Structure 1
Amino acid sequence: MRMTTWVGAAALTALLTACGEQTPPAQAATVSADAQALQSHLEFLASDALEGRDTGSRGHEIAAQYIAARFKALGLEPAGDDGTYYQRITFRRSTLTEGSAAMSVDTGSEVVELEYGDEFLTGPSAYTTTSTVTAPVVFVGYGLVSDEFGLNDYANVDVNGKIVMMVSGRPEELPSEEGAHLNSSKTKFAAERGAVGIITLHTPMREEVRPFKVSAMYQRAPRITWLNPEGEPNVTYKNLQGSAYVDYRAAAPLFANAAIGMDEVFAQLEKGEQPQPFELNTKVTLSRASEHEQITSPNVAAILPGSDAELQHEYVLYTAHSDHIGVTQDLSQDDHINNGAMDNASGVSVLLETARMFVEAAERPKRSILFLSVTAEERGLLGADYFAHYPTVPLQQIVANVNLDMPVLLYDFADVIAFGSTHSTLGSTVAEAAGQFDIALSEDPMPEQAIFTRSDHYPFVKKGIPAVFLMTGFTAKGEDEDGGEIWGKFFAEHYHRPSDQPSLPINYEAGVVFTNINYEIGKTIANDDERPRWLPDSFFADLD
């Protein structure tokens, strides 16, 4: 029989003594993840019955119910809305009406129509069903603003009431994580300065990395946005009435009257120079029609109250996304269900086992632990972003976020990578926790991917909350395994494909170690007298 009620170490020792049996204190204080429990969670969440757990689907609803049932069975307090475990989110799914997208360039001497799909791309509007905007165009380089890096691509130009045109990407000299954050803020920079539209120029440099035709393949997919309690779309700027992504091979008319030619801009980019803003002296008309549909999907949240009278009002937040990408439309495949075993049934399984460990530990942590399973990560970190905007506990009392996303549990790993560890005091916490299991903390082996900005911890980072996100490292314990090769093969052959399923050679004992490390990270944060803090030189220390 497993004890799941609160039994203090002293009470447990007294009980065993009364039975004529003594347990060493160290053993009584030990708690560990269970491989069989990890396997049972993962196999259910990644089963065909859940049909890939797409946001708003029946399969994801079943996954959410399963997670809530596990929280309830552990005796955790509901932390959703209205005394439930659920925080239900309303989303707007927007689709571009077929044949509605149009873009024309007025040079003063002629009007040039660009062809949708071949020369320009656009997406649906989350605000209106029909929109048309005509305005002068201003070139704004990369479209970036940062005092820290000395960037202001809007210097000495007025873009109020105008359409801005910017080149894709960012300067190479920017650090990857900081650069990724700035790149994701381009729309915000334009909207704050009164622009009414954005044109992004697909460059020859970008063509070498991701051809324009590849981007065109994904343009007809719906866009999903969460709605606030007033029914307004999130982080969408009403003044931006149109957008376009233009292939450089069709962009010559935009530069017809410009003092600086398009080829000169590309030459500057090739040399690593920063193009300066200037008026293009042309007008552009952007038109589109959009269709809207409402769907709902829940976050699932639960709290383990802390034991300290003061610190129990602060929270250590664990996150893991329960959604995946659903059913593929690729008819060339026999298996159409994207089960998402590693992405992210594995992370949710670790979350559930971590919750059990905290419940069954000999002593409760001083701070409260908030367990949050989020929806719509695959749609743009939307569930986490909604919770960061509408938290069910005071946001300023969340001291740290430990994110669990896609641990690749396919080998006996000897090291971990902790995205975010170099930005806050959580780095030393991770190193100490991993060291308890003879696991090394390694540097990010792929900084160019800027993964610190690409999972559910990022919305909390933008709100000022220190965060860390662990991944299995590229070193394996055994000489017969190459961790980096196995990790790379998973991404090449299984990531976001139906083959990411429980039939993979999952190493659940490695999952035990991974879970134990994440548990120790949270336990240390919860019991430390001081809350984690950003390092003084971190770019992310002062975003909010």
Structure 2
Amino acid sequence: MRVRSFALLAGGIFTTGTAFAQSTEIPKPLRNPLDKVSAADYKAHVQYLADDKLQGRLPGTAGYQMAVNYVVEQYKKRGVLPAGENGTYLQTVRLRRAFTEPGATLRLQASQGSEQALTYGSDFTFYPNPAEASTTVAAPLVFAGFGISAPELGYDDYAGLDAKGKIVVVTREEPKQFPDAVRLYNTDVLTILQTAAQHGAVGVLLAAVKPTVHLPEPPKGVVSVLGTDGKVAVSRTYGGPQLRVLGSVSAATLQRLFAGAATDTTAALASLRAGKPASVALLPRLTATQRTRYQDVESYNVVGKIQGADPKLRDEYVVHTAHLDHLGVGTTVEGDSIYNGAHDNATGVASLLEIAGVYSRLKEKPRRSVLITMVTGEEMGLLGSAYFARNPTVPKSQIVANINTDMPTIIAPLLSVVALGAENSSLAAPVAEATKALNLTVEADPEPAQNRFIRSDQYSFVTQGIPALHIKYGNKTADGQNNLSLQVQKWRARYYHKPQDGMNGQFDFDAGRKYAQLNFLIGYLIANNPTRPTWNTGNFFGERFAKK
């Protein structure tokens, strides 16, 4: 392994502000522990976790418990200390899967007094309510454009709009006038719900703007996390007890809701596309009724600790995460119904286990402590990481950074990377240093339309004010074509979230080895730096969340 090097301080601790010296080799304290990261061991982890006997690692099943037991066993072998609840490696995550029962109704009361019943499936659908098994909501309607309230950015769909006690209708068309980070945050459904609740709404209807024949049903129900008090603690589709109804309506239904209003959908949508709010009171009044049934199960995050060496800084933590869950058993595709999740995300778990192995071989640990954390419920909406980030097993204020590992897509040699989120904070510096050490280059995201930064577990930490990043593949290839993103797109069409993502697929386990080494180096640099990471001045996510 030909690499550039870290500079040694007296006593064997590596410097951090300018971590690399001019020499061309990693110093001995890191060289052997890193060299012993094994592609064969990496493959063995993936092979076990993606075996049919684990039945796709669906949370709450025996297969997921087998994965938990495997990780705990690997932690113990590597000397990783328990950092879960009550002296264990586990943090309990209570999952509630909610389903809308048949018979849901949505009735429109026009201004003349006549009532119209809308048709479930073609005119509207409801998302199940994880907190109320039976709901009836009768309320007037308002149209709130994109559902964005960001006066500090010069845009507010709620300016002058009275939403208190009303059902808010918002378009799912995305605004074009905002930078990516701002757009991603403000158009996230949870942000829309929270904004509506802050303005006093009792419900939200998400409106399609293009004609559709049928609106999609929420697949396999909607999953939330219950807190120890039995109340909803984390959900992607629940904005709090005040918001009692969340649904989707078709473009044709949206037209009906605008009947008799001061403007029509054509003018309102044209205004929004021009960057101007088009909020308006709508004349009809809606009555929504639904019943919800629940399936509650217990799952677990698995949390281990590498104790830091500095008596003061060891009480601060760098958190490595990877999601342990996948989709379980589902629809048969080409004769197979077990969604093994080899790439997604057995490779991420393997990376963290190999990182733990490097730490076990270090004679001297970094200044800060490191948490190796496998989270549950990522495939259900980042639930395990969101619960951990809000309720960590260590003081939240002492978590300095998160490095997430989700589906590195090791199908070719690792020659370059994309560091999703590193541009938001001082984490860009250790990324630059570690990639240089491994002769890797850092590139811009080749697939910005995938919105990958908010789609994996690092985002759970960002929303709690903790700088975070996620290392993904770059575009560089050995043949100079530099088209790896195209290869990944072809791979994704064939394997992603399908039973075909098993051990018979395409792998480059040497790339997995290098990926684990890289993530170790990034985490090590952060853990050893006496200065904790900071958000960049004026960064949107830092400004929005750093005070949490």
TM over 0.5: yes
Partner Cα distance (1:136, 1:510) in 2: 57
Partner of 1:412: 413
Paired residue secondary structure (1:328): strand
1:192-235 CA deviation, whole Å, 9 max, x = no partner?
Answer: 1211111111112xx6xxx664x51x435211110111100125
Match 1:77 to one of 65, 71, 81: 81
CA change 1:449–1:485 in 2 (3 A) is closer
Aligned 8 A contact 1:243 1:286 in 2: no
Whether contact under 8 Å (2:181, 2:540) holds in the other structure is no
> Do the aligned residues in 1 keep the contact of 2:271 with 2:278 (CA within 8 Å)?
no
Query: 1:319 pairs with 318, 321, 326, which one?
Result: 321
CA distances 1:372-431 after superposition (whole Å, capped 9, x unpaired): 000000001000111112111001111110101101001012110010111011112111
Query: Does the 8 Å contact 1:52/1:337 carry over to 2?
Result: yes
Q: Deviations over 1:344-393 (max 9, x none)?
A: 00000000000110110232111101110000000010001111121110
Question: Shift of the alpha carbon at 1:274?
Answer: 2.5
Runs ≥4 residues deviating over 3 A: 24-29, 478-482
Residue 338 of structure 1, CA deviation: 0.7
Identity among equivalent positions (%) equals 34
What amino acid maps onto 1:51 in structure 2? Q
2:78–2:360 CA contact under 8 A, matched in 1 = yes
Q: Distance in 2 between matches of 1:350 and 1:167?
A: 40
> 1:238 matched to which residue of 2?
241
Aligned match of 1:299: 301
Q: Distance in 2 between matches of 1:233 and 1:397?
A: 25
Q: Which residue of 2 aligns with 1:227?
A: 226
SS in 2 for 1:468: strand
Q: Does 1:252 align with 2:259?
A: no
Q: Would the aligned equivalents of 2:447 and 2:485 in 1 still touch at CA under 8 Å?
A: no
Question: Helix, strand or coil for the counterpart of 1:127?
Answer: coil
How many aligned residue pairs are there? Answer: 514
Shift in Å at residue 482 of structure 1?
A: 4.2
* Matched letter for residue 525 of structure 1: I
Aligned twin of 1:14 = none
Quote the offset at 1:262 in angstroms. Answer: 1.6
Match of 2:161 in 1: 157
The offset of 1:301, in angstroms, is 0.3
Letter matched to residue 93 of structure 2: I
TM-score when normalising by structure 1: 0.91
**Cα distance, 1:27 vs structure 2:** 4.3
Structure 1: segments with no counterpart, 5+ residues: 1-8, 12-23
Distance verdict in 2 for CA 1:481–1:466, change over 3 Å: closer
Q: Deviations over 1:16-59 (max 9, x none)?
A: xxxxxxxx994454122211110000000011111111121111
Q: Which residue of 1 aligns with 2:208?
A: 202
Question: TM-score w.r.t. structure 2 length?
Answer: 0.90
The answer to whether the 8 Å contact 2:418/2:471 transfers is yes
Q: Which residue of 2 aligns with 1:18?
A: none
Match of 2:67 in 1: 63
Pair 1:442 & 2:446 matched: no
Equivalent residues of 1:176, 1:448 under 8 A apart: no
Backbone CA RMSD of aligned residues: 1.9
Name stretches of at least 5 consecutive residues in structure 2 with no aligned partner. 1-9, 13-24
1:268 maps onto 2:267 in alignment: no
Q: Any conservation in 2 of the 1:413–1:474 contact (CA below 8 Å)? A: no
Preserved CA contact (<8 Å) 2:118 2:124 = yes
**Letter aligned with residue 193 of structure 1:** H
CA distance in 1, matches of 2:222, 2:421: 29
Give 1:376-387 correspondences, 5 Å limit. Answer: 376-387=377-388
Would the aligned equivalents of 1:169 and 1:183 in 2 still touch at CA under 8 Å?
no
Change beyond 3 A, Cα 1:262–1:308 = same
2:108 matches 1:105? yes
Secondary structure of 1:112 counterpart = strand
Residue identity in the other structure for 1:171: P
Q: Which deviations, in whole Å up to 9, do the C-alpha atoms of 1:459-483 show, x marking residues without a partner?
A: 1111111111000112112348842
**Residue identity matched to 1:169:** E
